[in-house]
Amino acid sequence: MLGNSVLSTLRRVPGALFIGLALTGAALAQQPLKIGFGMSLTGPLAGNGKAALIAMEIWRDDVNAKGGILGRKVEFVYYDDQTSPATVPSIYTKLLDVDKVDLVVSGYGTNVIAPAMPIVMQRNLTFMTLFGLNVNSKFNYDRYFQIMPAGPNPAVGWSQGFFDAAMSMNPKPKTVALVGADAEYPAMALEGAREHAKKTGLKIVYDKTYPPNTVDYSPIVRAIQAANPEVVFVASYPPDSAGMVRAANEVGLKTRIFGGGLVGPQFAALKTQLGPLLNGVVNYEFYVPDVGSRFPFLEQFLAKYQARAVVEKVDPLGFYLPPYAYAMMQVLEQAITATKGLDQAKLAEYIHTNTFDTYVGKVGFAKNGEWAAPRVMMTQYHGITGNDVEQFKKPGRLTVLSPKEYRTGDLKAPYHENKK
Amino acid sequence: MSNKIFAAVTIAVALVLAAVTQLIPNEYFFSAAYTVLLFVILATAWNILGGYTGYVNFGSAAFFAIGAYTTVFLYNAFKAPLAVGIVAGTLVAGLAGLGLGYLTLRLRGVFFAIASLALAVVLYIFVVNWDYVGGARGAYVIQPREIPFGLPRYIHLIYAVQLVMAAFALVVARAIEKSTLGRGLAAIRDDELAAECSGVPTLKLKIFSTMASCALMGMAGTTFPYYLSYIEPSSAFSLSYAVNSIAMPLIGGMMSWMGPLIGAVLLGSVQQLVQVTVSSAWNLLIVGVLLVLFVTLAPNGIMGWVDAWRRRKGR
């Protein structure tokens, strides 16, 4: 009797073990996939940080609605970095050591990406980052990837389209003025612009910076006018972008092409604030409705985003950062699915060697982790009337001048004769 | 306790703590502790001029940044090791403090405070336009791959260094407080004219006090570029350093070396905790509410409140 009982029990062991292992496996599979990051939810870049967070949450919900990644639901663990680099090391060490996240991605911008680099590098993590400016040039980390489409040399790629447009004018211009704020992004953009000026043989007749807290931009524009340049390249942050555009209108700046690196007009707040003052300005964008047919999935994403943006009081258009925040997560998702796991080396290798279908189009990465080729769209504003945001949601207010494959029209020059 | 014994005990405690805490497997501890210790040094340094001497310095961030940018300069020029950066940063900030003293210590009260703030603005613009240390774009300081003492990560090293530097700052602050110099500074704080009439060399003492205070603030900044690996003017000159280095001694108590220590540990830890639990938006609110509460209910800070309680008990 006892023997039979023991035998019967022994017979059940493999089955029980199998069921146990299967259950453990299932439990592991059901454990959420935790992705950690810091994000600027307060401080100067909070508007962009919140918009990026909404986009990432839309991605998370979309992925979870499809059953998650590798059968695991995606969960976010994030903290507010206050747009302050000093908070970043403690946030990322907490995410990795205390919260035990499976993966980390970056917050928004160079200032908060760079302080996280030593931590991710020490742990050999694959690091997807959001809108950093050439951060990897100093670290040379082979598992770093950046989603802003500025190309492998961001300083040059940023203003390539502007100088291409300038040099397409007939007759070719001979002089250029370079102006920008004393800050991180304008310094990089101006450096690239100087390279373009050298390459194209443009004579730099004005090359100056101004303090970021400048209030009156009229003297700057008057000084530029006094130098009489044919091309005016401006690299500025939102408050000074508004100041420079207003001053150009007030002073009646006469030049053939104006703009290039103004940060701010990509967002609804500045678009509506400046309204018709933007007519004639040539400036960069990462997405405009005029090329909407080239990005078939973006419309449904923007519909979701814009509905939430109104409630959460962030950029109601969402053309600039949110699609790329979503795309960053798509790259990660596709890499995890393809490599069937979270092996950081395999993830990095896969991202390096493949291109990804994302809401912002095909994305491939160069050796330094930046986009393999720049895709900064250079556009020209026209036909803006009043300050209504709705006009910017539809095609017809911006002509895409470059890159060639997205071109929707030609540059209208000179600037001062196209302010309508 | 004599200053020598206090110094020996404090440095020994710091070294033992630095060694023992290395066993903590959680790297988050080191990052959070580094920030708290940074505030301990800043608050202690500010208190030498603000608390002992009664001169409110709004330019703490500038001296902190001088320390940080000296490290960046030496790193760019010679790939100088951290120790060289610490010594040089402290000296340069001390010299800048000497300059501040000569230029502004004839001003009193709110005028000195405004002058110190103006100095911070001048230095900010200077750094923004100095391309060699990164200018407006910022500069990278890459953490060395070889870490001394067999420590696993660089943050372990700079945490230990910061701990010893905090101990050193406390030793300096206590030595000043308990010396004739400290009594002279207290006389200046209570009534500068009376002190002058009583034969206290007020200008000399104030200049020394400014130098010591600014040198320690610079010392706090020297490890900062290594902590972040990237530094740019707006974060190095952040107003939060100036605000915290004033708020912490105010909350802890400005009359003794222990006040800034208590204030910095309390407020710094609360800020670290709130950042990863409630929300960062609450962070500033908490600092503000605590400041209002202490200024109205305990104007002499926690130490002042404890002293008053002891006196009542003793009666």
Q: Which class for A232: exposed (0-12), middle (13-18), buried (19 or more C-beta within 10 A)?
A: buried
Give the end of a domain, one of A342, A363, A384: A363
Sequence-ordered list of residues with C-beta below 8 angstroms from that of A243, at least 6 positions apart, any chain: A214, A215, A216, A217, A236
Nearest partner of A90 among B4, B277, B186, judged by Cα? B277
User: Do both A95 and A141 map to the same domain?
Assistant: yes
User: Do both A247 and A144 map to the same domain?
Assistant: no
In this prediction the pTM is 0.85
Would you call A93 and B140 a contact, using CB atoms and an 8 Å cutoff?
A: no
User: Do both A356 and A304 map to the same domain?
Assistant: yes
Q: What's the pLDDT score for residue B110? A: 83
A398-402 and A377-381: which strand pairing?
antiparallel
Q: Which residue is closest to B225 within chain A, CA to CA?
A: A115
Chain B interface includes A296 (CB < 8 A): no
Nearest CB to A114 within list B28, B140, B238: B140
Q: b vs e for B266-283, b when ≥16 Cβ sit within 10 Å of the residue's Cβ?
A: bbbebbbebbbeeebebb
Q: What's the pLDDT score for residue A21? A: 45
| Cα–Cα distance list, A102 to A52, A312, A339, B125, B313 (Å) | 20, 28, 15, 42, 55
Nearest partner of B31 among B157, B161, B143, B155, judged by Cα? B155
Residue A170's domain comprises 154-293+375-417
Q: What's the pLDDT score for residue B298? A: 83
Distance, C-alpha B202 to centroid of its chain: 23
| Cα–Cα distance list, A131 to A106, A134, A327, A371 (Å) | 9, 9, 12, 11
Dihedral (CA of A341, A342, A345, A349) sign: positive
In a domain, A19, yes or no: no
d(CA B295, CA B225): 34
Shortest distance between the Cα of A143 and any Cα of chain B, in A, equals: 17
User: Do both A216 and A308 map to the same domain?
Assistant: no
In a domain, B252, yes or no: no
ipTM: 0.82
User: Do both A215 and A303 map to the same domain?
Assistant: no
From chain A, pick out residues whose CB is under 8 angstroms from the CB of B26.
93, 97-98
Q: Which two tokens stand for residue B19?
A: 């060694």
Q: What is the CATH number of the domain that holds A158?
A: 3.40.50.2300
User: Do both A192 and A252 map to the same domain?
Assistant: yes
From chain A, pick out residues whose CB is under 8 angstroms from the CB of B136.
181-184, 186-187, 209
Assess contact for B67 and B89: CB atoms under 8 A: yes
For tokens 């000093």, the residue is A86
Assess contact for A133 and A184: CB atoms under 8 A: yes
| Cα–Cα distance list, B39 to A2, A259, B173, B219, B260 (Å) | 72, 43, 15, 12, 9
| Cα–Cα distance list, B170 to B3, B9, B261 (Å) | 11, 12, 8
User: Do both A283 and A335 map to the same domain?
Assistant: no
Interface test with B, best of A94, A95, A99, A135 (most B CBs within 10 A): A94
In a domain, B264, yes or no: no
Q: Which two tokens stand for residue A238?
A: 């939102």
d(CA A87, CA B276): 10
* Three-class secondary structure of residue A261 per DSSP: strand
Instruction: Calculate the CA dihedral of residues A413, A414, A417, A419 and round it to 10 degrees.
Output: 70
Q: What are phi and psi of A131, to 5 degrees?
A: 60, 50
* Three-class secondary structure of residue A35 per DSSP: strand
Q: What are phi and psi of A114, to 5 degrees?
A: -55, -45
Helix (H) or strand (E) holding B257: none
Show which of residues 358-377 on chain A sit within 8 Å of chain B, judged by CB atoms. none
Shortest distance between the Cα of B232 and any Cα of chain A, in A, equals: 8
Instruction: Calculate the CA dihedral of residues B137, A216, A265, A331 and round it to 10 degrees.
Output: 20
Distance, C-alpha A162 to centroid of its chain: 19
B175-187 pLDDT, tens digit each:
999 999 999 999 9
Number of domains chain B contains = 1
Chain B interface includes A77 (CB < 8 A): no
Q: What is the DSSP string of B161-172?
A: HHHHHHHHHHHH
Residue B114's domain comprises 3-238
In a domain, A18, yes or no: no
Q: Where are the beta strands (DSSP E) in A133-239?
A: 144-146, 175-181, 203-210, 231-236
Q: What's the pLDDT score for residue A12? A: 52
Would you call B28 and A97 a contact, using CB atoms and an 8 Å cutoff?
A: yes
Nearest CB to B230 within list A41, A85, A181: A85
From chain A, pick out residues whose CB is under 8 angstroms from the CB of B275.
79-80, 82, 87, 90-91
Assess contact for A110 and A138: CB atoms under 8 A: no
In a domain, A15, yes or no: no
Task: Mark the ranges of chain B whose per-residue pLDDT is less than 70.
Answer: 279-281, 315
Q: What are phi and psi of B45, to 5 degrees?
A: -65, -45
| Cα–Cα distance list, B40 to A326, B184, B222 (Å) | 41, 24, 15
| Cα–Cα distance list, B291 to B37, B51, B249, B306 (Å) | 20, 16, 10, 17
d(CA A41, CA A54): 11
Nearest CB to A93 within list B28, B140, B230: B28
Nearest partner of B31 among B275, B246, B297, B210, judged by Cα? B275
d(CA B22, CA B165): 17
In a domain, B315, yes or no: no
In a domain, A26, yes or no: no
Q: How many CA atoms lie within 13 A of A67 on its CB side?
A: 4
Nearest CB to A122 within list B26, B153, B231: B153
Q: What's the pLDDT score for residue A7? A: 42
Question: Helices (H) and strands (E) in chain A — how many of each?
Answer: 15, 14
Q: What's the pLDDT score for residue B280? A: 63
User: Do both A56 and A136 map to the same domain?
Assistant: yes
In a domain, A223, yes or no: yes
Provide, for chain B, the percentages of residues in helix, strand and coil under a 3-state DSSP scheme, each rounded to the nearest 5.
80, 0, 20
User: Do both A396 and A248 map to the same domain?
Assistant: yes
- Quick one: DSSP state of residue A83? T
Q: What's the pLDDT score for residue A20? A: 47
d(CA A129, CA A141): 13
User: Do both A38 and A93 map to the same domain?
Assistant: yes
Nearest CB to B275 within list A87, A110, A118: A87
B230-231 and B139-140: which strand pairing?
antiparallel
Chain B interface includes A87 (CB < 8 A): yes
Assess contact for A233 and A208: CB atoms under 8 A: no
In a domain, B301, yes or no: no
Angle at A287 between CA A116 and CA A57, to 5 degrees: 50
B69-109 pLDDT, tens digit each:
999 999 999 999 999 999 999 999 999 999 988 888 778 77
A231-236 and A257-262: which strand pairing?
parallel
Q: Which two tokens stand for residue A245?
A: 């555009």
Q: What does the pLDDT profile of chain A (420 residues) look like in tens digits?
A: 444 444 444 455 455 444 444 444 455 557 899 999 999 988 878 888 999 999 999 999 999 999 999 999 999 999 999 888 888 999 999 999 999 999 999 999 988 999 999 999 989 999 999 999 889 988 999 999 999 999 999 999 999 999 999 999 999 999 999 999 988 889 889 999 999 999 999 999 999 999 888 899 999 999 999 999 999 999 998 889 999 999 999 999 999 999 999 999 999 999 999 999 999 999 999 999 999 888 988 989 999 999 999 998 899 999 999 999 999 999 999 999 999 999 999 999 999 999 999 999 999 999 999 999 999 999 999 999 988 999 999 898 999 999 999 999 999 999 989 876
In a domain, A258, yes or no: yes
Report the first-to-last Cα separation within chain A, whole angstroms. Answer: 99
User: Do both A283 and A300 map to the same domain?
Assistant: no
In a domain, A328, yes or no: yes
Chain A interface includes B28 (CB < 8 A): yes
Find the helix packing angle between B154-178 and B27-47, rounded to 10°: 20
Number of domains chain A contains = 2
Q: Which two tokens stand for residue A33?
A: 């996939």
Sequence-ordered list of residues with C-beta below 8 angstroms from that of B184, at least 6 positions apart, any chain: B195, B200, B201, B202, B205
For tokens 């809401």, the residue is A359
User: Do both A41 and A77 map to the same domain?
Assistant: yes
CB atoms within 10 A of CB B297: 8
